[in-house]
Amino acid sequence: MAIAAMALCGLSGCVTLTGTYVVSATDAEGRDLSSNLRMTADGSRIYTARNALCSAHPGAVVHIKDLQTGEELRSESPYTCKAAK
């Protein structure tokens, strides 16, 4: 069963994340949209944080940075939210 789950994850592009990240958003011109908020997320919870920012700010660019190093998480960031329909 575990092998099937790992194979499915490998085929679907799952990323196993560890660590704590700062998740923030900017508009298309680079202005900070989350200046009154410092959002952190552990591991794969970055997707929940990213989706919350995208829901609040359609079309925003979400940045995910390692809390310790300040480096952008290259596999997931920057992420451009879908624009509102």
- Whether 62 is covered by a domain: the verdict is yes
Task: Give residue 27's domain range.
Answer: 15-80
Hunting for tokens 């960031």 — which residue is that?
77
- Whether 42 is covered by a domain: the verdict is yes
- Whether 28 is covered by a domain: the verdict is yes
- Whether 76 is covered by a domain: the verdict is yes
- Whether 23 is covered by a domain: the verdict is yes
pLDDT at 32 over 70: yes
E-strand ranges in the chain read 20-26, 39-42, 61-66, 79-80
Hunting for tokens 């200046």 — which residue is that?
35
Q: What is the pLDDT of residues 38-75, one digit of tens each?
A: 899 999 999 999 999 999 999 999 999 999 999 999 99
- Whether 6 is covered by a domain: the verdict is no
